[in-house]
Amino acid sequence: MCINNRLLTKDMKGVSVSPHFTRNVFVITEATSRTGFFAARAAAEFGGEVLLLDRNFDVATDSIQKLKNVMPHGTVRFVECDMQDSKSVRRAINEIKSEYSKLYCLAHGAGDLPTQEKKIVDGIDSQKQNYLSHILLTTELLPLLKAQANEVGDARIVNHSSLASLY
């Protein structure tokens, strides 16, 4: 598996892991399905602590159980965060900031498809709010990413999506 062409390398002996994964914190949105789930699995499998940001506790709990079945010693936890509600995003930001002083990776999932239904929260339709929430999350967590980069020389913001986002 290759992430950013350097985190994981495959040689004749199998997969070797960059030290950047071990004991580092990964915040992943849309992590209960598709590309986000596989990103969470890779990070946890190779020693990272993964925070799954999702609005649905039941779905997140199911995803965490699936991850624990594959790697029972992985550290994965749920942080409630509805990207279509800025108040929920701010609560998640405050929870993360209160528990962590640095983050290695903030990975944004961009898997929401436009729908006919327009849900209005805080005077903004859900698609626009989902977009703005990623900016809010990045802006507010940037100091924790910078703290990581200052300490070890590396931190990342990653945007991932499936081909479904093209349609």
- Would you list the DSSP string of 58-76? HHHHHHHHHHHHH-TT-EE
Return the ∠ at Cα 26 (arms to 23 and 32), rounded to 5°.
Answer: 125
pTM recorded for the entire structure:
0.79
The pLDDT of residue 113: 58
Walk across the sheet containing 25-29 and list its strands.
75-80, 49-54, 25-29, 105-109, 156-160
CA distance 134 to 113: 15
At 102 the pLDDT is 96
What is the structure's pLDDT at 90?
Answer: 96
Alpha carbon of residue 6 to chain centroid: 19
Summarize pLDDT for 58-116 with one digit per residue, the tens: 888 888 888 888 777 778 889 999 888 889 999 999 999 999 999 999 999 865 555 55
Alpha carbon 147 to its chain centroid, in Å, reads 18
CB 161 within 8 A of CB 111: yes
- The stretches of the chain forming alpha helices (DSSP H) are 34-45, 57-70, 86-99, 126-152
